Amino acid sequence: MHYREVDWLPDVVAYPELVQAYRDLGLLAAGCVVLDPGEHGVGPMAAQFDADTERAFLFESERPVPVLITPDATVMVEVSEFFGAPSVRLRTVLHNGALIETLRRWDAVPPWPTSLQRARRHVRIEEEMTRAGTVPGGRSVAVADGLPDQLLAAHADHVARMAEHYGAEPFPLEWMADVVAVQNLALAHADAVEARSVSILLGSTAAAALIILGLVVLGFMASLPALWALALVAAVASYLGFFRALVALRYRPGIRPAYVRLSGLSRG
């Protein structure tokens, strides 16, 4: 799954009035990108949701996402649809390759797959939005509220803080190929963060199952009902805590893989 460049198509993008608001602030139309899901498409992923969400997911996955850029080419802005509300992402790359992102706060917690609906109540919007961030690993993600000018100001503050932290200045993305490369690297890193948390969760679940099974076996061999009772309590606790643990793992910064910094941006 990756992004690819397409023509500037302002008539079919989501929230054209929002795109125009950024243009009115001096940003330039760099182009559009569209998600290329590969040979299997997004169907299998969309099918995990309820019917209404699945239809919206399929529609939005094919809609071009406009990318605007500041005249000095150091800030790119993406505007898209996210489950019925605008999604705005501002990005800056530093000379050391670190990625700085400021996101418009979601209006609500987005839908989750139907099999994981019980986990949704544990989701916290800001932590969910910033879960790909790993400042030690070269990617800083912040959330902000407000109109386009306020989001640009919040991003400028974010970039200033991180530029001082990393000791590096913003790098101009002078070609659309650079923009797409950054988007794809960020997408790959987000997938790696997700995979890491799922792997740890599955490993922890397997370990808990082995412990419970061990208690049952020991209880049988030693004829100790207390061990069976302990196994039952452990099984119930594991079941009740599974979805809370799933969300908690998503928010643990220490398990996130480092962002693989872009080492060679194209020059046309």
What pTM does this model have? 0.82
Judging by beta carbons within 10 Å of its beta carbon (0-12, 13-18, 19+), is residue 140 exposed, middle or buried?
buried
Cα-Cα-Cα-Cα dihedral of 92, 96, 97, 103, to 10°? -30
Share of the chain above pLDDT 90, in %: 45
pLDDT in tens, 210-230: 666 665 666 666 666 676 566
pLDDT in tens, 159-191: 999 999 999 999 999 889 999 999 999 999 998
- Answer with the residue of higher pLDDT: 156 or 175: 156
Structure tokens at 183: 């988007």
Cα–Cα nearest to 166, from 135, 192, 199 = 135
Q: Given pLDDT bands bounded at 50, 70 and 90, which one contains residue 25? A: very high
- pLDDT value for 267: 42
pLDDT in tens, 46-73: 666 677 766 766 666 678 899 999 999 9
Judging by beta carbons within 10 Å of its beta carbon (0-12, 13-18, 19+), is residue 265 exposed, middle or buried?
middle
What angle do the packed helices 16-24 and 148-166 form, to 10 degrees?
70
Rg (CA), the chain: 22
Residue 226 one-letter amino acid:
A
Judging by beta carbons within 10 Å of its beta carbon (0-12, 13-18, 19+), is residue 141 exposed, middle or buried?
buried
- pLDDT value for 232: 65
Compute the distance between CA of residue 86 and CA of residue 25 in angstroms, rounded to an integer. Answer: 18
pLDDT (mean) for 242-253: 77
Beta carbons of 168 and 99 less than 8 angstroms apart: no
Beta bridge partners of 77: 68, 90
